[in-house]
Structure 1
Amino acid sequence: MPHIDYYFSTISPYAYLAGNRLEEIAAKHGATITYKPLDIMALFARTGGVAPKDRHPNRIAYRAQELPRQAKKAGMPFNLQPAHWPTNMAPSSYAVIAAQKAGGGDLGKLCQGLMRACWVEDKDIAQDDVIKACLSEAGFDPSLADSGLLVGAEIYEKNLEDGIAAGAFGAPFYVVDTGAAFWGQDRLEDLDMHLSGEL
């Protein structure tokens, strides 16, 4: 049974635009997924990247074209300038980590709900009430937002180290247990083909 380590940030627009395609691909191939939220700004700093606000104007201008294009292509609503971005990703990441440990709900739906809250609904996903609502909607106990903060912090930091060791430098980043790595929601088709033995 193949396994996918999914490195992502809860404030990544490209992870949002992946929608539920990773989960569909995993189901198709009988693959399991470990969700590994990490600090994307720290990842950029550690791997030669630059935070969006510090990028060259040409890159900023291209991003402003590319994100709405990709959203339209995916048929997903999208706000290029959400009210609460960037925000502290740690609380929502800790919730994902706690939910994965607890089980009983839909992790993909939780991640997508958090990112949709940021990129569509203009909500601050650093706020407890927003996180708890996303947990509930995905079938998890909302009190997970209040528990396991220490463990969440430790795993969150470990995810960053694991991601760097696995070759990650952006998000979303998918690493199969074969060692094959795929960067970006626009490479999900390649991941699917890899799991099919075509790539």
Structure 2
Amino acid sequence: ECIAPPGPRSLPQVSVEVTTNGVDWTVDDVLFTYTAKAIVYSVFPVSGPARGSTSVTVRGVNFREDTHKWCKFGGEVVEATFLSDQELECRSPPHAAHPGVLVEVTDLLPDEDEWESGQRNEANIDAVTGYVATGVTFRYAEDVQLVSLSRTKGSDVGGSVVTLTGSGFEDLPTITCAFGDMTVPATFETSERIVCVTPTPDTPGFVAV
């Protein structure tokens, strides 16, 4: 086992040979390719619930389509989906509430042959290397829970003011209520109470909130 030294920028592919006495080298001309490390510049959204499963778009450079890709949120590793050489998509893993865990990416595996042959296990996932920390973080918030509504009926033209009671609400510009598949901005009052004005439905009837 050898650790690759820094590669020459002008020569991304080099031959690898071995010696046992420091003088006589193999001449098999096995090739090794140096690739630019993937670097993260930003993520969207910048926060999600502690339960995980938030679809996070990771933006940066040097993302490659021809390799397995990984995101790391703090110490948790998840697979990434390639969108472009500047965007990946990752599902945030579950994590305790935290003001900001580092988000990093890599496209290196400890053993590509093992992965391709289906020998996937916790050991080789945990051994993924090549992460680059750039200081980009993702905030884990307490899970939001909705307990009750101040009213369960309203006008079929919308405009009804509804107070939602629960826990885990935060004073953020993205806080939103959904009435069925219709969304409206919410007004934050406390961590246990927000207010929304009902939108106009396509047809009268019950909707999930």
Larger Rg: 2
**TM-score category by the smaller chain?**
under 0.3
The one of the two structures with greater contact order (alpha-carbon pairs below 8 A, sep at least 6) is 1
Relative to total residues, which structure has the larger strand share, 1 or 2? 2
| TM-score w.r.t. length of structure 2 | 0.22
Structure with the larger helix share? 1
